[in-house]
A and B are shown apart, each in its own frame.
Chain A
Amino acid sequence: MANYYSEVPELKFHLNNPMMERICELKERGYEDKGKYDYAPEDYADAMDSYDKVLEITGEITGEIIAPNAEGVDAEGPHCENGRVRYASGTEQNLDAMVKAGLNGMTMPRRYGGLNFPITPYTMCAEVVAAADAGFGNIWSLQDCIETLYEFGNEDQHSRFIPRICAGETMSMDLTEPDAGSDLQSVMLKATFDEENNCWRLNGVKRFITNGDADLHLVLARSEEGTKDGRGLSMFIYDKRDGGVDVRRIENKLGIHGSPTCELVYKNAKCELCGDRKLGLIKYVMALMNGARLGIAAQSVGLSQAAYNEGLAYAKDRKQFGKAIIEFPAVYDMLAIMKAKLDAGRALLYQTSRYVDIYKALDDIARERKLTPEERAEQKKYAKLADAFTPLAKGMNSEYCNQNAYDCIQIHGGSGFMLEYACQRIYRDARITSIYEGTTQLQTVAAIRYVTNGSYLATLREYELLPTLPEYEGYMNRIKEMTNKFAACTNAVKEMNDQETLDFLARRLYEMAAVNVMCHLLLQDSTKAPEMFGKSLEVYVNYAESEVEKHFNFIRKFSADKLENYRK
Chain B
Amino acid sequence: MSLKIVVLAKQVPDTRNVGKDAMTAEGTVNRAALPAIFNPEDLNALEQALRLKDAHPGSTITILTMGPGRAAEVIREGLFRGADNGYLLTDRAFAGADTLATSYALATAIKKIGEFDIIIGGRQAIDGDTAQVGPQVAEKLGLTQITYAEEILNVNLADKRITVKRHIDGGVETVEGPLPIVITVNGSAAPCRPRNAKLVMKYKRALGAQEKAAITKDGAALPYAELYDKLPYLNITEWSVADVDGDLKQCGLSGSPTKVKAIQNISFQAKESKTLTGSDADIEGLIVELLENHTIG
Contacts and interface: CB of A to CB of B under 8 A. Distances in A.
A39 B195 contact: no
A53 B197 CA distance: 8
Interface stretch (A95-103, A198-206, A261-269, A449-457): A95-103
B193 A97 contact: yes
A53 B224 contact: no
A53 B194 CA distance: 13
B204 A53 contact: yes
A102 B198 contact: yes
A387 interface: no
Contacts of A54: 197, 200-201
Contacts of A100: 193-194, 196
A42 B194 contact: no
Interface string A406-448: 0000000000000000000000000000000000000000000
Contacts of A41: 201
B202 to A, nearest CB: 5
B260 interface: no
A54 B198 CA distance: 9
B291 interface: no
A39 to B, nearest CB: 4
A61 B202 CA distance: 20
Contacts of A101: 193-197
From B194, B196, B199, B227, name the one whose CB has the most chain A CB atoms within 10 angstroms.
B194
A103 B198 CA distance: 9
Interface string A77-116: 0000000000000000000010011110010000000010
A43 to B, nearest CB: 9
Nearest to A47: B201
Given A38-B231, A42-B224, A50-B204, A103 B197 contact: yes
A208 B260 CA distance: 67
Interface string A31-71: 00000001111100010011001100100110001000000
B227 A39 contact: no
A101 to B, nearest CB: 4
A53 B200 contact: yes
A39 B202 contact: yes
Interface string B193-219: 111111111101000000000000000
A535 B199 CA distance: 40
A430 to B, nearest CB: 27
Contacts of B195: 57, 60, 101
Contact of B201 (A53, A60, A97): A53
A39 B194 contact: no
Contacts of B231: 38
A251 B194 CA distance: 32
A54 B196 CA distance: 8
Nearest to B195: A57
A59 to B, nearest CB: 11
Given A38-B231, A42-B227, A61 B194 contact: yes
Interface string A111-128: 000010000000000000
Contacts of B197: 39, 54, 57, 101-103, 106, 115
From B195, B198, B224, name the one whose CB has the most chain A CB atoms within 10 angstroms.
B198
Interface string B70-93: 000000000000000000000000
A39 B193 contact: no
A60 B198 CA distance: 16
Interface of B: 193-202, 204, 224, 227, 231
Given A101-B193, A115-B198, 7 more contacts: A39-B197, A50-B204, A57-B194, A57-B200, A61-B194, A65-B194, A102-B199
Interface of A: 38-42, 46, 49-50, 53-54, 57, 60-61, 65, 97, 100-103, 106, 115
12 contacts: A49-B204, A50-B201, A50-B204, A53-B204, A57-B197, A65-B194, A97-B194, A100-B193, A101-B196, A102-B197, A106-B197, A115-B197
